[in-house]
């Protein structure tokens, strides 16, 4: 068989622990036998980030900007415990944070739906995609403990040194205070990416916030979304028969639970963090969720939504078998291959990516499941398999499907 050729590379960002083990299994067993895989490889193993003073992470993000398509393995975000565990000379920043800051994007998270995996919320027959704003708010906030008798204020000093003061609270007793911010350009780019994605995927778009309470703050988000819609996207939405609406966050939660799915849900940073875990769990598992960072200048970074699965890795090191679910990582690769094919007009590569996804789903539908999915599988003669066997079974399906 002639291998499928690629014109341009995918930025291949390796990571840590169990996901690193699965990363090379997937490339060796499911991709390289069929595709003449062209990659630019960056090793974000926690030790290599430490050795390069995190330069490798910045280079990886810049490579995604250059080549437009990247795929990233889960990585350890170091902390004190990890510093000791891996004997690191420093605690580096979250690699996802560093990459997001350089690419300036929105993270889209979508459940992988499989007919024989019963969602925990049975009415969700179509996927709900979360679009999470990835800049500012709580994640760039300033916090403090406040002693009784203190006064907390917001002071805004403009460029002419004119001060505007607002009292947050006169503290009669000990308490806490927090402030945060966002930027118009970031909100604008977030909204723009959401509208473009809704059009690309032909899905209704809901943006949710709490403008009734955060009267200036969340109203700014709402206005930017609504103005951009009216000025730029309304006619295209109407042509496609899709809808845009603004909804209060609490109302959006209740609508989402009662819905059949099938829409794009744009969330502010914190709401998106929490809601993507809620949505993933409602559909079955974090290992059945795809995640892609879309940058405003058209670069894409695919990843799994879960972490490095440390507990399984330590079993693996002891020589024990693990039943770690490789599906989200396979779909990160298929997503990147399909996007590479789309940008390069390479139909063969797009078709292969779709076959890889189909073969993975066929395998689950035949009753081969990793441990995490066993209780949710509706197949009569279902069987728990280890990670290696799962990948081998997917390979057998893929060979037959090609």
Nearer to Mg ion, 308 or 322 (CB): 308
- In degrees, to the nearest 5, what angle opens at C-alpha 144 toward C-alphas 143 and 148? 145
* Residue 273 binding partner per list ligand NAP, Mg ion, none, with a CB distance cut-off of 5 to 8 Å that depends on partner kind: Mg ion
Where helices occur in 166-216 by DSSP H, the ranges are 184-201
* Residue 99 binding partner per list Mg ion, ligand NAP, none, with a CB distance cut-off of 5 to 8 Å that depends on partner kind: none
Q: What are the angstrom distances between the C-alpha of 389 and each of 96, 266, 305, 370?
A: 30, 38, 23, 10
Nearer to Mg ion, 32 or 274 (CB): 274
Nearer to ligand NAP, 60 or 76 (CB): 76
* Residue 311 binding partner per list ligand NAP, Mg ion, none, with a CB distance cut-off of 5 to 8 Å that depends on partner kind: ligand NAP
Closest to 37 in 3D by CA, of 341, 362, 401, 402? 341
Query: Nearest to ligand NAP by Cβ — which residue?
Result: 307
Q: Which residues bind ligand NAP (CB under 6 A)?
A: 74-77, 96, 286-287, 303, 306-311, 324-325, 370, 372
Q: What are the angstrom distances between the C-alpha of 234 and each of 74, 198, 247, 250?
A: 38, 12, 17, 25
CB 269 → Mg ion: shortest distance, Å? 11
CB 207 → ligand NAP: shortest distance, Å? 25
* 132 contacts 109 by C-beta, under 8 angstroms: yes
CB 245 → ligand NAP: shortest distance, Å? 31
The overall longest dimension of the chain from CA atoms, in Å, is 78
Residues 6+ apart with CB under 8 A from 203: 129, 197, 242, 262, 263, 264
CB 308 → ligand NAP: shortest distance, Å? 4
CB 272 → Mg ion: shortest distance, Å? 9
Distance CA 394, CA 146 (A): 57
Nearer to Mg ion, 56 or 279 (CB): 279
Nearer to Mg ion, 40 or 273 (CB): 273
- What beta strand segments (E) does 44-98 contain? 69-72
Query: Nearest to Mg ion by Cβ — which residue?
Result: 273
Bridge partner list, 303 = 72, 291
* Residue 309 binding partner per list ligand NAP, Mg ion, none, with a CB distance cut-off of 5 to 8 Å that depends on partner kind: ligand NAP
CB 282 → ligand NAP: shortest distance, Å? 16
Q: Which residues bind Mg ion (CB under 5 A)?
A: 273, 277
CB 17 → ligand NAP: shortest distance, Å? 7
* 50 contacts 88 by C-beta, under 8 angstroms: yes
Nearer to Mg ion, 277 or 348 (CB): 277
* 291 contacts 304 by C-beta, under 8 angstroms: yes
Nearer to Mg ion, 204 or 273 (CB): 273
């Amino acid at each position: 068989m002639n291998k499928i050729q690629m014109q341009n590379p995918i930025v291949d960002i390796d990571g840590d622990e169990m996901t690193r083990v699965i990363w090379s299994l997937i490339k060796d067993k499911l991709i390289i036998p069929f595709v003449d895989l062209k990659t630019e490889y960056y090793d974000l193993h926690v030790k290599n980030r430490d050795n390069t003073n995190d330069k490798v992470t910045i280079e990886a993000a810049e490579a995604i900007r250059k080549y437009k398509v990247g795929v990233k393995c889960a990585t350890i975000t170091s902390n004190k415990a990890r510093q000791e565990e891996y004997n690191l000379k420093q605690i580096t920043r979250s690699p996802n944070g560093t990459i997001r800051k350089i690419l300036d994007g929105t993270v889209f998270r979508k459940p992988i739906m499989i007919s024989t995996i019963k969602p925990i919320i049975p009415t969700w027959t179509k996927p709900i995609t979360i679009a999470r704003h990835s800049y500012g708010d709580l994640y760039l906030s300033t916090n403090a403990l406040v002693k009784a008798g203190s006064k907390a204020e917001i002071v805004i000093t403009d460029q002419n040194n004119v001060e505007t003061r607002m009292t947050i609270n006169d503290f009669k007793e000990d308490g806490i205070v927090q402030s945060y911010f966002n930027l118009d350009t970031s909100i604008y780019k977030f909204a723009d990416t959401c509208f473009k994605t809704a059009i690309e995927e032909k899905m209704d778009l809901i943006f949710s916030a709490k403008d009734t309470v955060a009267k200036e703050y969340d109203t700014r988000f709402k206005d930017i979304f609504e103005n951009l819609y009216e000025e730029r996207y309304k006619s295209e939405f109407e042509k496609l028969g899709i809808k845009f609406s603004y909804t209060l966050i609490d109302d959006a939660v209740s609508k989402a639970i009662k819905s059949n799915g099938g829409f794009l849900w744009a969330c502010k940073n914190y709401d998106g963090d929490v809601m993507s875990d809620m949505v993933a769990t409602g559909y079955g598992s974090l290992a059945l969720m795809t995640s892609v960072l879309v940058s405003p200048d058209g670069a894409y970074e695919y990843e799994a939504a879960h972490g490095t699965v440390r507990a399984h890795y330590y079993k693996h090191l002891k020589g024990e078998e693990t039943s770690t679910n490789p599906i989200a990582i396979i779909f990160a690769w298929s997503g990147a291959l399909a996007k590479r094919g789309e940008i390069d007009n390479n139909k063969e590569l797009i078709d292969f990516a779709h076959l890889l996804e189909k073969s993975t789903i066929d395998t689950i539908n035949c009753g081969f499941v990793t441990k995490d999915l066993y209780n949710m599988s509706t197949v009569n003669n279902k069987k728990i398999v280890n990670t290696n066997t799962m990948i081998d079974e997917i390979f057998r399906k893929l060979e037959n499907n090609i």
